[in-house]
Amino acid sequence: MSSSFGKNIKVSVFGQSHGKAIGVVMDNVPAGHKISSEELQLFMDRRKPGKNKLSTGRKEGDVPVFLSGLENDMTCGSPICAIIENSDQRSKDYDELKGKPRPGHADYTAYVKWDGQADMRGGGHFSGRLTAPLCIAGGIAKQILMEKGIVIGAHILEVAGIRDESFPCTPTGAELENISSKEFPVINDHAGSNMIKAIEKASQDGDSVGGIIECVAIGIPEGLGGPMFEGIESRIASAVFGIPAIKGIEFGAGFSSSKMKGSEHNDPMYYDEEGSVKTKTNNAGGILGGITNGMPVVFKTAVKPTPSISRQQETVDLINKENTTIQIKGRHDPCIVHRAVPVVEAVAALVILDMLMEDK
């Protein structure tokens, strides 16, 4: 079982959805970086549950408690360890599901992998709850990257087939900050309103919806990354797939590239007023040959519908070896896309910071 990633800054996530606490360890974070606890909490609050009817009714404060690594809000060179205490579990909601894997969840695969010993209440270690400690680490990484002039932001590009505008070719830090300040982070608020209606409709129908998140990193220097298996695309993709519910990723024009001609896909190059090489379009997503070219790094990632729905579903009884049905009770998100936006930012920040240290 591997719940760690990173080469220079190693990030390890621990805990279970209904355990006493969840947490993260960040190893090899350089000393001397000022970390604002207020800014970190604002970042954590963007993904925490129980804020409105679009999210699960589970209410968690998601306030990090740092056990090591920070002294007077400064990184001190030792491993950063932080926990979040779980305070609003309702494990009894899962009593009737014992031995009956929920479709769309990791219940069955975890049962097979660990001979039925895995704690799968609330999804256990596979739960989206574990993205909270990821946001602790990513929030710290984002603040360190800001010192270097690198800003990372994301928005909801699509929910239930309803599409927002895409980022412009060269978004500004102010534009990213404006989006992150919204409770429902979209560029076009009218599109966002229609997305919210679709989520509410799915909830009323006992169902759920998925969507697409678009993420961008601006200010990344050219030359970061490497060819083939250690390219920045490979590293970001590997880490992003560690986020529960992520089912796909594309960079720049992505799958649309297959429908384009070379003359359409190639990004025209030019020198800007400061003598830097730029491109007029960004179909490459800021990456060529696995190496950054100085343009914003842009990727989109697909988020599946929340598998916990209140409709009756077919499954199997692993104890009695027979077919059966279940109806999931409890508190669940009708859509997790809006809460996953800061998580995608967090993971992108961790990978980029890790690669910057490697490139020194």
What pLDDT sits at residue 161?
A: 97
Q: What integer is the mean pLDDT of 266-286?
A: 97
Tokens of 6: 């990173």
What pLDDT sits at residue 77?
A: 96
Q: What integer is the mean pLDDT of 151-173?
A: 98
Mind listing the pLDDT tens digit for each residue in 221-261? 999 999 999 899 999 999 999 999 999 999 999 999 999 99
Q: Which of 63-67, 90-94, 354-358 has the lowest mean pLDDT?
A: 90-94
pLDDT band at 209 (very low <50, low <70, confident <90, very high): very high
Mind listing the pLDDT tens digit for each residue in 307-321? 999 999 999 999 999
Mind listing the pLDDT tens digit for each residue in 52-71? 667 655 566 789 999 999 99
For the chain, state the CA radius of gyration: 21
CA dist 240 and 202 (Å) reads 26
pLDDT of residue 174 exceeding 60, the answer is: yes
What pLDDT sits at residue 57?
A: 58
CA dist 8 and 354 (Å) reads 6
pLDDT of residue 359 exceeding 70, the answer is: no
Q: To which residue do tokens 């926990």 refer?
A: 83
Q: What integer is the mean pLDDT of 269-296?
A: 97
What pLDDT sits at residue 115?
A: 86
E strands within 172-309? 211-218, 246-251, 269-271, 277-279, 287-288, 291-292, 297-303
Q: What integer is the mean pLDDT of 139-158?
A: 98
Average pLDDT, the chain: 92
Which amino acid, 167?
A: F
Task: State the pTM of this model.
Answer: 0.94
CATH numbers and ranges of domains, the chain: 4-358 (3.60.150.10)
Which amino acid, 318?
A: L
Percent of the chain with pLDDT over 90: 78
What pLDDT sits at residue 124?
A: 65
Measured on CA atoms in the order 99, 101, 105, 110, is the torsion positive or negative? positive
Q: What integer is the mean pLDDT of 202-214?
A: 96
Q: To which residue do tokens 């087939």 refer?
A: 161
Q: What integer is the mean pLDDT of 137-148?
A: 98
What pLDDT sits at residue 122?
A: 67
What pLDDT sits at residue 91?
A: 53
Tokens of 174: 């102010």
What pLDDT sits at residue 2?
A: 75
CA dist 189 and 103 (Å) reads 34
Q: Which residue has the higher pLDDT, 34 or 20?
A: 34
Percent of the chain with pLDDT over 70: 93
Please give the full DSSP string across 68-81, using - where no structure is assigned. Answer: ESEETTEE-SSPEE
CA dist 244 and 132 (Å) reads 12
